[in-house]
Structure 1
């Protein structure tokens, strides 16, 4: 099974980052180990980056739980929402209905959602997807390589963590822990508004050149 992630920046050493991810450790406030529950919790803290300060571009390649190859470079989207999860994670289950609802709502705007799961075997992951009627795929990342490489661009200290990527593939925002529906909707709409504004500016510039 193939997992490839090619960020422009050099990633953190794979072995060190994978050890942190699998051990459930965190180097940043806002995420803490939940004793005997096997996941790292976050407080829903949000960080955003202005367009000129963003890292990337983000490219995620892997295989989903249905056996389909996924390459985010194939998606001509205005925004991409990445979400780490696994089935036995309580905050992952709590936020799933909102993610599913937003994925359906924002599909018409060209927004793509993609899950990343480092824990579950296919039967467990598929049962989760059926339970919540998830309309978007999730990459199977047992090796932890996709998550580890993402740490080279945007740290993922907690499961769940949700990352919003803009139309240029750059990281615009990150939510550590269970994401609030209205917060995620606002973050994505802000990115879509940036794209609309850029398109309007390009049209005005073209008109000026023709005059």
Structure 2
């Protein structure tokens, strides 16, 4: 088996594990791929791991503080060209959805603090980011730090609703975020 096929198979397996329990039942598919996202029905979602750490801009973050909100988590690095390409799309989606009980969290991996801060400033990123140089949080989500960017959408209960490996576009991300936000709007 060549390396590409093995890697593709591994990524499919990891995505399945990360979404903990997404299955097909008979003819009814419980998880679907739509616009590059793997999305699971609410009753098929697994819980996200604990997400805590130091924010790039100072202070600490704990995912529990955002319970009740839809949380979009994006893994990125200043050295990552696809991360640069998606920065505007992420920020625009954040601005368009934050009034609907949606928040965003970046997780910066394998980077220096100065380069990460310069990235946020240069690309106009206004949502917070964890500073996680060793990529521990990515590994907790079964995302290898060298496989970024990756974006995960958590529902209001802290469960993994959608996952995309690779850069996102606002036209693809925003509908996913809006669907998840509409599930339990308060």
TM-score of the two chains, using structure 2 as the length reference: 0.77
Aligned equivalent of 1:92, options 61, 64, 83: 83
Aligned equivalent of 1:145, options 136, 147, 151: 136
- Are 2:102 and 1:119 equivalent residues in the alignment? no
- Are 2:21 and 1:65 equivalent residues in the alignment? no
User: Which stretches in structure 1 are left out of the alignment for 5+ residues?
Assistant: 1-24, 30-43, 200-211
Measured in 2, the distance between the counterparts of 1:147 and 1:119 equals: 11
User: Cα RMSD (Å) of the superposition?
Assistant: 1.9
Alpha-carbon displacement from aligned partner over 1:17-41 (angstroms, at most 9, x marks no partner): xxxxxxxx66226xxxxxxxxxxxx
CA contact (8 A) 2:48 2:141 kept: no
- After the TM superposition, which parts of structure 1 deviate over 2 Å for at least 4 consecutive aligned residues? 155-158
Matches within 5 A, 1:167-206: 167-196=156-185
Structure 2 CA distance for partners of 1:110 and 1:100, relative to 1, 3 Å: same
Measured in 2, the distance between the counterparts of 1:76 and 1:163 equals: 15
The Cα shift of 1:76 comes to: 4.2
Measured in 1, the distance between the counterparts of 2:48 and 2:133 equals: 23
Measured in 2, the distance between the counterparts of 1:166 and 1:186 equals: 14
The Cα shift of 1:78 comes to: 2.7
Aligned to 1:28: 11
The Cα shift of 1:182 comes to: 1.3
Alpha-carbon displacement from aligned partner over 1:180-206 (angstroms, at most 9, x marks no partner): 21111011111111113xx6xxxxxxx
Aligned to 2:100: 109
Aligned equivalent of 2:121, options 124, 130, 141: 130
Measured in 2, the distance between the counterparts of 1:141 and 1:110 equals: 25
The Cα shift of 1:57 comes to: 4.0
Measured in 2, the distance between the counterparts of 1:143 and 1:90 equals: 19
The Cα shift of 1:59 comes to: 3.1
User: Which stretches in structure 2 are left out of the alignment for 5+ residues?
Assistant: 1-6, 13-34
CA contact (8 A) 2:67 2:158 kept: no
TM-score of the two chains, using structure 1 as the length reference: 0.68
